Amino acid sequence: MKTLNRKQQLIVINSLGFMSLLLVLLFISSCNKDFPNTLREGYPNDTTNLKEGKRKVLYIILDGVRGNAVKTLSPPNITQIVRKSIYTFDGLLDPKSTAVNNGNGWANSLTGVTSAKHKVLTDDFANNQLTAFPTLFTRLKQQSPNLRTVSIAATNAFNTNLAVDATAKVDAQNSDVKVKDAVVEELKRDDAGIVVAQFHSADEAGAANGYTDSSVPYTTAITQIDTYIGNIITALQARAGFSKEDWLVVIASNKGGYITPAPGDSDLGAFGEGAKNTFTIFYNPKFTQQFVPKPDVNTIPFSGFAPRLVSTATTRNVLAADNNTTIGNFGTTGDYTLIFKVRADHASVGGYPPIIGKELNFQQNSPGWVIFTNGSDWNFKANGTQQMGGAPAGATRTFRDGLWHTIAVKIYTENGSRYVKGFQDGKLAGGPLTSGNGTYTANMSSTTPFTVGNIPTSESTVGAVNVLIREVAMYNVAMPDATITSYMRKTEVLPTDPNYANLMGYWPLTEGSGLTGADKSGKAPNLKFSPSENWTSFLDSSPNLSPPVSDAAYAVVINNVDIPMQIYQWMGVAPPATWNLDGKIWKLLYTDVRNN
């Protein structure tokens, strides 16, 4: 054998080292590679003049899988799929519907309309309107009679009620593994066109053991379904004609599952309801990754109209009870709660001008009560003699900052003695009263009408205030502290609220014009401007309020009703207006597969 010289030996060693490094890099790359892209190359970044293969759809429905549970679990196959998808973990079954069940979720996901139209409110499909609002199986059969559509369902009711016009139906007899096997078999057919698969085991596990992220049976079921999804994607890509086809893969939950709301979830509307929380993935190897998050509800503005109540040393603009001097009389006994929202726009204040109350003059021994300004803070005073002490640690009564705040005063009886507490923006802000060892004995009634705005007293003749006030609510009960603090972020009083039946008066003050601020409780007089009306519009973001989430905000994420619309668009079907669909089409961004 020929002996290599020193130079030749170095060349061989370096070559072997380079090849070893190359093999290591290839191995590392393969461990992080997406599902293989077997589509032909040559697609431009823009879809103009794109020569696509024959379009088909694989639609996988997962019952009862919360979007946030998927986000937390990060199942391996779904995690890989979303790299080439438009997707959301914050999707919604239906933001408005009170019906949350499998039937409702399936119907939304297959008809493209909500239960307000299809009327599927229960799992037995009683009194439904699916004839007027049929599923995509029926619509596609009408549009493309030769298109093969198949429904493979773990739950018999799915096929019986929703897949009547499918070309073929497979009853998997409540077995997810049979669903997976049937989908794999269907994908072996050359003429497979629309393949819909319904998996049910996660919902069964959640219903029996809870839908939380810590429920092992629930998360195990989701992980197992993720394995089935991996098997199905592998079968899809193994199709003989896959490189000449263009598949839209949809993976979505029909609904979420109930979990105990976290603190603050009630302020998120439907986004805070685990039962309505879904996830949706639109996948294709040519897609660019797009994550669709829910909007930041803390940035939703508080908007509308409010009375602007301005006072100077000589003029005042107020709203006062019309021809009534009894509303707001809190007397010497009894329990009450007053809550309102205020935005103080004045730069500075002299004296102690009131902003709401029922007292002619809150100097000493003047019957009645007021909430008054004290520099940048507010305080409660009754009979001109008793008022709250300073705010406790961690709380404040500062409100003169141009932001909206919620202020509440609670008058309550304990062991035969009367006390007063103050609250601001979800925290205890003062009380009990400082005088008389904290008990209150003076008279909180007067013949002065209940007034929103400045009251002309000798204490306020040098004061000037400029405030907007909204949502004034008066109750004939001392509401629990926890109820007061938890509802202070809300921007309207609703019949479903605790203690709604205890309202003595409720003045939203949203009219925007006219002399009257109407009472909406049906128990109190209206408030009337004096001397003239002064309404203003506003649009403010406030860290202290959580306005209702709007329909527009809910539409920022993928809703179940969007899925049929996306499938129709993919298949080249333009739904006519007569279909009256509720969903919308999402823009699918493409990547240049030559660079994948």
- Mean pLDDT per block of 10 residues along the chain (596 residues) reads 43 41 39 46 37 86 98 98 98 94 98 98 97 98 98 98 98 98 98 99 98 98 99 98 96 97 78 96 98 86 94 84 96 96 86 88 81 90 81 87 96 90 93 60 90 74 80 98 93 94 98 98 97 93 87 92 98 96 95 54
Integer Cα distance of 4 and 6 in angstroms = 7
Cβ neighbour number for residue 508 with a 10 Å cutoff: 20
| Per-position b or e across 255-293, b if 16+ CB within 10 A of its CB | bbbbbeeeeeeebbbbbbbbbbbbbbbbbbbbbeeeebe
Q: State residue 269's pLDDT score.
A: 84
Give the whole-angstrom CA distance, residue 263 versus residue 331.
36
Are the beta carbons of 439 and 419 closer than 8 angstroms?
yes
**CB atoms near residue 577 (< 10 Å):** 6
Contacts of 79 (CB under 8 A, 6+ apart): none
- Pair of tokens at residue 342: 């205020």
Contacts 24+ apart (CB under 8 A), 481-484: 481/410, 481/421, 481/423, 481/428, 484/337, 484/339, 484/408, 484/410, 484/423
**Cα-Cα end-to-end distance for the chain:** 46
Which residue blocks in 462-550 are alpha helix, DSSP H? 481-487
Token pair in block for residue 111: 């008809």
Please list the residues that pair with 472 across neighbouring strands: 507
Nearest to 399 by CA among 380, 370, 378: 378
Secondary structure, 3-state, 240-283: CCHHHEEEEEEEEECCCCCCCCCCCHHHHHHHHCHHHEEEEEEE
Which pLDDT value is given to residue 45? 39
Q: What's the DSSP call for residue 431?
A: -
Cα angle: 164, vertex 102, 574; to 5 degrees: 55
- Report the distance separating Cα 100 and Cα 277, nearest Å: 11
The single-letter DSSP state of residue 590 is B
Give the H/E segment covering residue 470.
strand 465-475
pLDDT value of position 75:
98
Nearest of 450, 451, 433 to residue 442 by alpha carbon: 433
Fold of 302-540: Jelly Rolls (2.60.120)
**Could you check whether 54-297+550-595 and 302-540 share the same CATH topology?**
no
Pairwise CA distance, residues 161 & 164, whole Å = 7
Sequence ranges of the domains in the chain: 54-297+550-595, 302-540
Given a contact cutoff of 8 angstroms between Cβ atoms, the answer to whether 449 and 324 are in contact is yes
CATH of domain 54-297+550-595: 3.40.720.10
| Alpha carbon distance 504, 446 (integer Å) | 17
